């Protein structure tokens, strides 16, 4: 069990193993699954991720709700390339996974379905640019996984638990840790990358229009991917962050539990409760939801039992 980033970094160093190897050994020890099987399963994970991206980019049909579909392809084709091809590619891949997800297609919920676009967009776009082998990508996924485990146990990875900061924020933190580590960052820099990512997303609410994992989720995955790469870039340059990563994660957890329930995936606040959001929900036939949105409150308000326990 890893309870904190500090513990992960210290124990890996004490054991003389890399952060990736530490996570791998822990998994072998705690599940009894052999190392090769774990790595094979991560390779399969990458295959599903690639498939979800490809399907999202190729398919122009909309989701059953009509809210998403075809945007990733349009971005890939028509984006003006403000920061070059790769930037546009990364954004379109993040959106593509969410479009596949909305069509009840097969995805890897890393760490959740609503944030599934971030890790693949970042890692699959940077891999050829930075010359990472498949083997190294598997290692990077172990680092991403270790990061997500700590955040899930210390704070939350669920929108219903802690808002969007807990979902796309955790996904971005995982991606930025993986990139920083693969690019030769030390433990300190990996921690800084995670801290920088999360501080930039603190307080982000989960307000899915009509309660669907589509809008703003698809766009938030794209912006989270940008945040992940930006944080890795700054951490790798040696920029520091004065608040230790574990304390930043705890703040995210604290903000999440104090967040009004309307902003935790209930679709009763934020963009979901705007006049335009209500209209979309009404068109989708969600009459009970619209009634509650109009009342501006919900049963269960103030409830304390949210999130992984």
Partner 1 sequence: MTTLFDILGPRMVGPSSSHTAGACRLGYVAQAILGGMPDRAVVGLHGSFAMTGEGHGTRIAITGGLLGHTPDDERLRGAEREATEKGLEIEFSTVDLGDDAHPNSAVFEVVRGAERIAITGCSIGGGQIRVLEIDGFAVDLSGSLPTIVVVADDVPGTVARITGLIAERGLNVATVRVDRTGRGERALMTIETDEDVPVTVLEELAAQSWVHWIRNVHRLNA
Residues numbered 8-67 forming contacts with partner 1, rule: CB under 8 A:
23, 27, 30-32, 38, 41-42, 44-45, 48, 63-65
Are 26 and 15 spatial neighbours (Cβ–Cβ below 8 Å)? no
Peptide bond into 55 cis (omega under 30): no
Q: In the bound complex, what is the minimum distance in angstroms from residue 240's beta carbon to partner 1? A: 27
3-state class (DSSP) for residue 155: coil
Give the count of beta carbons closer than 10 Å to the beta carbon of residue 74: 12
| Residue-wise DSSP of 247-271 | HHHHHHHHHHHHS-GGGBTSSSSGG
Q: In the bound complex, what is the minimum distance in angstroms from residue 110's beta carbon to partner 1? A: 5
CA distances from 241 to 193, 238, 248 (A): 9, 10, 10
* Residue of the chain from 118, 124, 174, 251 that contacts partner 1 (CB under 8 A): 174
Q: In the bound complex, what is the minimum distance in angstroms from residue 161's beta carbon to partner 1? A: 5
- Interface with partner 1 (CB under 8 A), residue total 74
- Distance between CA 233 and CA 163 in Å, rounded? 26
Q: In the bound complex, what is the minimum distance in angstroms from residue 147's beta carbon to partner 1? A: 8
Nearer to partner 1, 133 or 303 (CB): 303
What mask of x and - would describe binding to partner 1 in positions 97 to 116, judged by CB under 8 A?
---xxxxxxxxxxxxxxx--
What mask of x and - would describe binding to partner 1 in positions 218 to 257, judged by CB under 8 A?
----------------------------------------
- Distance between CA 146 and CA 138 in Å, rounded? 13
Q: In the bound complex, what is the minimum distance in angstroms from residue 109's beta carbon to partner 1? A: 4
């Amino acid at each position: 069990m890893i309870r904190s980033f500090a513990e992960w970094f210290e124990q890996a160093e004490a054991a003389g193993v890399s952060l990736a190897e530490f996570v791998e050994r822990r998994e072998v020890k705690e599940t009894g699954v052999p190392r090769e099987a774990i790595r094979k399963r991560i390779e399969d994970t990458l295959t599903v991720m690639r498939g979800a991206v490809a399907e999202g980019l190729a398919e122009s049909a909309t989701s059953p709700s009509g809210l998403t579909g075809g945007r990733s392809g349009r971005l890939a084709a028509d984006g003006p390339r403000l920061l070059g091809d790769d930037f546009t590619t990364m954004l379109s891949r993040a959106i593509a996974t969410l479009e596949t997800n909305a069509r009840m297609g097969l995805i890897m919920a890393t760490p959740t379905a609503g944030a599934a676009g971030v890790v693949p967009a970042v890692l699959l776009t940077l891999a050829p640019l930075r010359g990472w082998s498949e083997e190294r990508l598997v290692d990077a996924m172990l680092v991403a996984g270790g990061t997500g485990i700590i955040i899930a146990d210390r704070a939350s990875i669920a929108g219903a638990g802690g808002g969007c900061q807990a979902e796309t924020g955790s996904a971005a933190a995982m991606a930025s840790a993986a990139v920083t580590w693969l690019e030769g960052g030390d433990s300190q820099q990996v921690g800084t990358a995670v801290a920088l990512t999360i501080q930039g997303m603190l307080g982000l609410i989960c307000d899915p229009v009509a309660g669907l994992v589509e809008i703003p989720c698809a766009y938030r995955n794209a912006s989270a991917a940008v945040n992940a790469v930006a944080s890795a870039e700054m951490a790798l340059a040696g920029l520091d962050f004065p608040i230790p990563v574990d304390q930043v994660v705890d703040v995210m957890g604290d903000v999440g539990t104090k967040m009004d329930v309307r902003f935790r995936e209930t679709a009763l606040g934020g963009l979901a409760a705007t006049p335009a959001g209500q209209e979309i929900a009404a068109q989708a036939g969600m009459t009970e939801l619209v009634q509650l949105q109009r009342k501006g409150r919900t049963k269960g308000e103030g409830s304390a039992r949210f999130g992984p326990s």
